[in-house]
Amino acid sequence: MSAESSGVTLYVCVTCRRPIAEAGADGKAYDEPGQGLAASLAARLEGDAQVTVKPVACLSVCRRPCTVALAAPGKWTYVVGDLDAADNLDDIVTAARQFAATADGIIPWRERPLPFRKGVVARVPPFGFQPVDETR
């Protein structure tokens, strides 16, 4: 069974833009680091039966490039921003594998790599989630 059907999907925003100090020869005052992050993650996780990397055109977290999302059927989804291929590749891979090892997608806060403690944009419940009645 492939990771796509039973495991974790690691979505990587490939349109994130980050300002750069000086415009390049092409006149751009920004770079698009998501493409490099997606390529680096795909190479690192190639052949991993638990995690599939999928580039996505936009995760709408433009003020916090680069952004990734961890998702799987029946699990909470994490959206995490402020990531960088050079500094956070190992952290992203670790978090994806931790996420895959959980039953519900919730990685205990203290066990998350540092960028996944500081950079969480959202944690979204799985489709069909039923809250526990705390009043009983």
* pLDDT band for position 23 (cuts 50, 70, 90): low
Give the pair of three-digit tokens for residue 42.
């795909």
The model's pLDDT over 48-77, given as tens digits with 9 standing for 90+, comes to 999 999 999 999 988 888 999 999 999 999
In degrees, rounded to 5, the angle at the alpha carbon of residue 107 between the alpha carbons of residues 53 and 88 is: 50
CATH architecture assigned to 3-19+27-124: 3-Layer(aba) Sandwich (3.40)
Confidence at residue 2, expressed as pLDDT on a 0 to 100 scale: 41
Q: Do 44 and 88 meet the contact criterion of CB atoms below 8 Å apart?
A: no
The model's pLDDT over 73-121, given as tens digits with 9 standing for 90+, comes to 999 999 999 998 889 999 999 999 999 999 999 999 999 999 999 999 9
Nearest by Cα to 76 from 8, 14, 135, 132: 8
